[in-house]
Structure 1
Amino acid sequence: MYRYDQYDHQIVKERVAQYTSQVERRLSGELSEDEFRPLRLQNGLYYQRHAYMLRVAVPYGLLSSKQVRMFAHIAREHDRGYGHFTTRQNIQFNWIKLEETPEILGKLASVEMHAIQTSGNCVRNTTSDPFAGVAEDEIVDPRPYCEIIRQWSTFHPEFAFLPRKFKIAVNGAKEDRAAIMVHDIGLSIVKNEQGEVGFRVLVGGGMGRTPILGSEIRAFLPWQHLMSYIEAILRVYNQYGRRDNMYKARIKILVKALGIEEFARQVEAEWQDLKDGPATLTEEELARVAAHFTAPAYETLPATDAGFEQTLAGNKAFANWVRRNVRGHKVPGYKAVVLSLKKTGVPPGDATAEQLDFVADIADRYSFGEVRVTHEQNLVLADVRLSDLVKLWEEIKAQGLATPNIGLLTDMICCPGGDFCALANAKSIPIAGDIAERFDNLDFQHDIGELELNISGCINSCGHHHVGHIGILGVDKDGSEWYQVSIGGAQGNESSIGKIIGPSFSAHQMPEVIDRILQVYLRERNEDERFIDTARRIGVTPFKEFVYATPIKIVHPAGEDAYA
């Protein structure tokens, strides 16, 4: 994985020193909160409902075991014993004391990490495929390009104050596992008929108040021109993106207003002044960065293992885990393993300090000291020997990391919501917990099959509810928390935006609403048909009719019966 060079070390060290001075001035009263706010946001520090929250950048979701141990230390010494992994492959600490933040950033710097540009109107953390480098369907490893984008965008003076935050995702496989369709810029590595490497370029995707799928402006961009073309896109956006209304400031609004043809024309015109200039990538530069992402010391192993096959045949629990949580690998004798952070009773994406230390230990013993973060808020060990899977499974079960639910109903994406976030209209975590408890039957979940349920506490869509097969959005209704439900969203190669089924529901109604939606699916599905396939085939109407057909009985905490 990438290691800091002298420039990285210097800029992060100097940023910590600069921020330390800013905090001292704030604590002494020399800086007001209004003056301090943009300074702390540049370092990933938010003030939420109860405390400061620090968001730490995890570039393209890749971590060393040493860095994971530092997360455990920060959770234990500076937070309340846990961290929260996000849909941008970052980690957040929700109970941070302002006076301790310079020390925390110093500790992060000691393991080559920072919180720079995890907030603000700038280029945010670039995300990618958590199985990059090992996926069987990979065309080209996207991580070197992600790292080049990181180096280029960090402290880029021209793009430090964009009209709004800006997000880039890069995918290098046939299957899109980076959700490129819902990013400001989505990049997919492709090869042309001559076998040359390039990028399919999408712009204007995003969720929030105006969910839009990205539009293609280049079917094939030679890899050498990647950075100059991204710069051209950002220049057009920086010049013409709206700054008078933050709700209409994202690039998707500009693309929609201009039309994709005119936007592409302006980008191409801007690019002519940049093409073949200093930003052009060379073979030498790509090789320099790619050298950090060479394959680990794989052993020559058989493609099968007798102990694995025996346990697979005789242990249903192990077989279910392998089916849901184990992925193929391009090297024979190895597998990629997803560690579920979605055990019932635990907020989705949360990991305790003890679990983080444990993950670091098993990464060292089973996966070359490396951990990946998924944008579905789980963790990945990318390089596990097939012969070690049984032993690994037994160990992670004891730590609550082996729930065999990846891609199933209880593998929910969920933002922190109203329990923490000052922007949220409603709580998300209790809704996720109630639904998980209602359907905490793995046999039932396996029968339902692949189902993505995403929950956001507000329209900002940090829980990606727009692209959930079932999406739940918290809304404010006369000062009360209610929930709007959509159906038919999806990420990946066949991305789509979900459609709202009707009026919102109270928190207490939500488990029954999901139950009714599932009843329609079970009644209407064809053999081997996934939920999303059925939803697309029959449309929203049958779900809507059944959900609203009869009053939904609920029980209030006080005990009295009530009806919708």
Structure 2
Amino acid sequence: MYAYDELDRTLINERVSEFRDQVKRRLTGELTEDEFKMLRLQNGVYLQLHAYMFRVAIPYGTLSSKQLRRLAHVARRYDRGYGHFTTRQNIQFNWIKLSDLPDALAELAEVGIHAMQTSGNNMRNVTSDQWAGVAPGEVEDPRIWSEILRQHTTLHPEFSFLPRKFKIAITASEHDRAAIKVHDIGLRLHRNADGETGFEVLVGGGLGRTPFIGKTIKPYVAGRDILSYVEAILRVYNQYGRRDNIYKARIKILVHELGIEKFAKEVDEEWKQMGHSALTLDHSVIEEVRSRFSYPAYEKLPHMPDELKQAAHDPLFERWRKNSVAPHKVQGYSIVTLSLKPVGGPPGDATADQMDAVADLADKYSFGEIRVGHEQNLVLPHVAKRDLPQLWKALDRIGLATPNVNLVTDIIACPGLDYCSLANARSIPIAQELTRRFANHDTAEMIGRLHINISGCINACGHHHVGHIGILGVEKNGEEFYQITIGGRADENAQMGALIGPAVPYAEVADVIEDIVEAYLALRDRPEELFVDTVKRLGVEPFKERVYATR
């Protein structure tokens, strides 16, 4: 966990006071909605279909139990008793009244939580691997660098009014759990030939109306120079990014139109002009940030405790353990993923009671720490193996032990037309129906790793482009239709899915997905062949034939 200092606390509290005055002027009519719009967006407040939506920042997906309890309190007191965890490791409340927002923000500020830059044309929440700091084989904890970037870019006057929103993701593991290749800037920590730690820098990734996979602009940038190099990228984007056309305003369009070589040259020239400025990170500065991260006092524990041996005889526990528990870098500990994807439930939602219960379990079993993953699940990152059986029972009691992590019902979905004013079609009911269709765990395990991502519009908040199966809601003559893509992925081998054919109506979507899955089971050359590998080997046509043969 990172400990905020007095400067952070002062900044957050002053922001609350400022926003309280802005809301007061809006409620009295001194500000029109158009005048208020920019002010509320700077504080994470959107005007949705039915109410204001409030997006709260969870920097690099790390929460303390105290903070999670406060989020539960906000859900219970100011909303309708639940919150929605997002693909940017944030949480959204969909029913807060405008008049209550300043009080909600003030109560969050007491525990170091804010909503700055969760919307608007600025640097959004810097995201990272939800296993950061505990993943085996990790170069180092990427959250240290996420925090450095967060501090530098928060309310930065030069980058508070960019051509469009801007997103950075950082990973330090060989397997990319942070989806860095579909971000405006992706950073991969690695060591060069001399053993020095630095970053591969990717730029120009992103989804939405015009999706692109990020391209490597610099294979290696030393840690001390990463802040200045990122700023050079932002300066070039700020200067040349399109402000005349919202659909061409993202940096991915600029990189595409200039070409990566030309863009890299512009960045290098800007970086050279900056020289050895104050943005060059002194070792002591990096270590100061590093020192503010606290890590658990791990015990020396056996690799296979007796409690785990005994619990292994329970097939239900073993199913959950194999699905939801991952190796930890410290012997005797595990990383546990809590699925927020119950059968028939909205993906990513957690009730206030569940949040309170998870906070209690984090205190008891995970040193008071919780993570949020971009897949819209929660993680307890420091669980002793001896405690896994008891944790499983406790999670099962609160509905968070569904053993479907990375399986077909572990669906990423945006709120869609049920909430969002931009959406063309519903996402949540599609996800709910699919979890019912594939509710049998034996069937899901037989299918294996398969990610379904659903977006209710072209803005792609559900990351449908990089789903193994992607579902995009579109509108046709006032009716909901859905385009289906297959073969996408968001990891270190990221690629966009391929469209299989014409959009299908709402009532047929679940049937189409079942057809695709059945085709996969018939076409894979061995049970271990993943869905994406079958698609890569055979292409779209065999699946297209199966789906449209009788339609």
Same fold flag (TM > 0.5): yes
Tell me, in whole angstroms, the C-alpha distance in 2 between the residues paired with 1:414 and 1:40.
Answer: 25
Distance in 2, matches of 1:502 and 1:189, equals 39
Measure, in 1, the Cα distance between the counterparts of 2:209 and 2:439: 32
What is the CA distance between 1:294 and its match in structure 2? 3.9
Alignment partner, residue 325 of structure 1: 324
- C-alpha displacement at 1:10, in angstroms? 1.3
> In structure 1, what residue type is equivalent to 2:217?
I
Instruction: Describe the superposition over 1:212-266 as per-residue Cα deviations: whole angstroms up to 9, x where unpaired.
Output: 0000011010110000000000000000000111011000000000000000000
- Supply the distance in 2 between the matched residues of 1:422 and 1:365 (Cα, whole angstroms): 41
Partner of 1:548: 548
Q: For residue 484 of structure 1, give the secondary structure of its aligned residue in structure 2.
A: strand
TM alignment of 1:165-564, pairs within 5 A: 165-312=165-312, 314-527=313-526, 528-551=528-551
Give the letter for the 1:277 counterpart: S
Q: Distance in 1 between matches of 2:16 and 2:188?
A: 35
Offset of residue 293 of structure 1: 2.3
CA distance in 1, matches of 2:436, 2:270: 54
User: Unpaired segments of 5 or more residues in structure 2?
Assistant: none
Amino acid corresponding to residue 518 of structure 1 in structure 2: V
Judge conservation of contact 1:130–1:374 (CA < 8 Å) in 2. Answer: yes
**How far apart are residue 477 of structure 1 and its match?**
0.6
What is the identity percentage for the equivalent residue pairs of Structure 1 and Structure 2? 58
Match of 1:561 in 2: none
Letter of the aligned partner of 2:473 in structure 1? G
CA contact (8 A) 1:489 1:497 kept: yes
Code of the aligned partner of 2:95: W
CA deviation profile, 1:138-194 (whole Å, cap 9, x unmatched): 111101100000000100000010000000000011111100000000000010111
Distance in 2 between the 1:456 and 1:137 partners?
33
Q: Distance in 2 between matches of 1:306 and 1:513?
A: 46
Q: Does 1:101 align with 2:88?
A: no
1:342-372 per-residue CA deviation (whole Å, 9 max, x = no partner) reads 0012100000000000000000000000000
1:15-26 equivalence runs, <5 A: 15-26=15-26
Contact 1:225/1:275 (CA < 8 Å) preserved in 2? no
Instruction: Find the aligned partners of 1:462 and 1:19 in 2 and give their Cα distance.
Output: 27
Q: CA deviation at 1:455?
A: 0.3
- Corresponding residue for 2:163? 163
Which residue number corresponds to residue 33 of structure 1? 33
Partner of 2:292, secondary structure, is helix
Shift of 1:137: 2.2
In the TM superposition, what whole-angstrom CA distance separates every residue of 1:476-534 from its partner, at most 9, and x where no partner exists?
11111111100010011111100111111111101110111011101110211011110
| Corresponding residue for residue 45 of structure 2 | 45
Alpha-carbon distance, 1:377 to partner = 0.2
For the residues of structure 1 that align with 2:290 and 2:431, how far apart are their CA atoms? 40
* Whole-angstrom CA distance in 2 between matches of 1:42 and 1:388: 42
Partner of 2:113: 113
CA contact (8 A) 1:3 1:112 kept: no
Q: Retained in 2: the 8 A contact 1:308–1:390?
A: yes
Distance 1:535 1:2 in 2: 42
Provide the rounded CA distance (Å) in 1 between the counterparts of 2:483 and 2:275.
46
Q: Write the distance in 2 (CA, Å) between the matches of 1:493 and 1:227.
A: 23
**Counterpart residue identity of residue 245, structure 1:** N
Amino acid at match of 1:57: A
- For 2:17 and 2:54, the matched residues in 1 are separated by 17
Deviations 1:43-90 (A, max 9, x none): 000010000100000000000000000011000000000000000000
TM-score, normalization: structure 2?
A: 0.99
- 1:12 Cα deviation after fit: 1.1
Secondary structure in structure 1 of the residue aligned to 2:158: helix
Which is further off, 3-12 or 522-531? 3-12
Q: Distance in 2 between matches of 1:175 and 1:413?
A: 19
CA distance in 2, matches of 1:292, 1:343: 36
Q: Work out the CA distance in 2 between the residues paired with 1:132 and 1:388.
A: 21
Asked if the contact 1:137–1:175 (Cα under 8 Å) also holds between the matched residues in 2, the reply is no
**What is the CA distance between 1:127 and its match in structure 2?**
0.3
Query: What is the aligned-residue RMSD (CA, Å)?
Result: 0.7
Please report how far the alpha carbon of residue 3 of structure 1 lies from its aligned counterpart in structure 2 after TM superposition.
1.7
2:3 touches 2:293 (CA, 8 Å); kept in 1? no
Stretches (4+) displaced over 3 A: none
| Distance of 2:154 and 2:383 partners within structure 1 | 33
Answer whether contact 2:307 2:387 (CA < 8 A) is retained: no
Question: Matches of 1:7 and 1:454 in 2, distance apart?
Answer: 39
1:58–1:125 contact (8 Å) kept in structure 2: yes
Structure 1 residue 321 displacement after superposition: 0.7
Kept in 1: contact 2:56–2:115 (CA 8 A): yes
State the secondary structure of the residue aligned to 2:328: coil
